[in-house]
Amino acid sequence: MFHYIQGALSIKQPTQIVLDVQGVGYELSIPISTYQKLPDLNQQVKLLTHFHIREDAQQLFGFYTEAERTLFRVLTSVSGIGPKVGLAMLSSVEVSDIKMAIVGGDLTVLTAIPGIGKKTAERIVVELKEKIVVDEIDKKNRAALGSDGDEALSLGVAALTQLGYKKVDADKVIRKVIEKEGTDISVELLLKESLKNI
């Protein structure tokens, strides 16, 4: 319903702010990751929003980046994960680290977050492992490959996913072939070797 909201920051707290938009104060719940990026009071700020409606309440959530908002929406799509827990997750762990934990099935990272027990963490991994976009994970893990490896990895993963393979599986096998054969491998050979190992 609301894509973003822009106004003067009139109240600023770690988990909640009020934006003054032409004399109307909008209260937004925010993660600490957003709070850390906010300007001083009375300064203009633009936040991406998510409007949450329940039978007993309507809440407006604010996020500094699209990555935060997207992950919040994905997390709260899991049964048992409400907005409160979604904010706690974003407040406790970096977006890219949450993604890596989910894709890698790292329950230790997830259960360290307040409100996330082992069963909930397992449910998050099972339900979201194939839904998580791993762009930020790739950026961290690909650093050692260099630009040539980055390009080969992107092309290889794109080709395998078009053939119907899961993105996570494609990423793993393409990465292994690049590490073994080198970054100057042709796309054709990269796919040929990857298909042998997938």
94 C-beta neighbours (distance < 10 Å), count: 12
| Same domain for 76 and 50 | no
Q: Which of 75, 93, 128 corresponds to the end of one domain?
A: 128
Q: Which of 93, 128, 163 corresponds to the end of one domain?
A: 128
pLDDT of residue 135: 53
Residue 83's closest CA among 11, 12, 13, 28? 28
Contacts of 20 (CB under 8 A, 6+ apart): 7, 8, 9, 10
| Same domain for 114 and 142 | no
pLDDT along the chain (198 residues), means of 10: 91 93 95 90 95 86 93 91 90 86 88 88 89 56 48 70 71 82 73 76
pLDDT of residue 163: 67
Reduce the DSSP state of residue 50 to 3 states and report it.
strand
Pairing between β-strand 58-63 and β-strand 4-13 as defined by DSSP bridges: unpaired
CA distance 125 to 139: 21
pLDDT of residue 161: 67
pLDDT of residue 39: 93
| Same domain for 10 and 30 | yes
Residue 5's closest CA among 39, 34, 48? 48
| Same domain for 114 and 96 | yes
Cα-flanking dihedrals φ and ψ of residue 196, to 5°? -70, -30
| Same domain for 149 and 95 | no
Strand (E) or helix (H) holding 160: helix 146-162
- CATH number of the domain bearing residue 107: 1.10.150.20
- CATH number of the domain bearing residue 19: 2.40.50.140
CA distance 25 to 19: 5
| Same domain for 121 and 106 | yes
| Same domain for 119 and 146 | no
Q: Which of 63, 81, 106 corresponds to the end of one domain?
A: 63
| Same domain for 151 and 102 | no
Q: From its phi and psi, is residue 51 left (phi > 0), alpha (psi between -120 and 50) or beta? A: beta
Amino acid at 166: K
Whole-model pTM over 0.85:
no
CA distance 5 to 30: 13
CA distance 138 to 55: 40
| Same domain for 120 and 84 | yes
Write b or e for each residue in 97-128: b if 16 or more Cβ atoms lie within 10 A of its Cβ, otherwise e. ebbbbbbeebbebbeebeebeeebbebbbebb
Q: How many domains does the chain have?
A: 3
- CATH number of the domain bearing residue 164: 1.10.8
pLDDT of residue 146: 45
| Same domain for 50 and 27 | yes
| Same domain for 147 and 162 | yes
Q: Tell me which residue range forms the domain holding 164.
A: 135-197
| Same domain for 94 and 47 | no
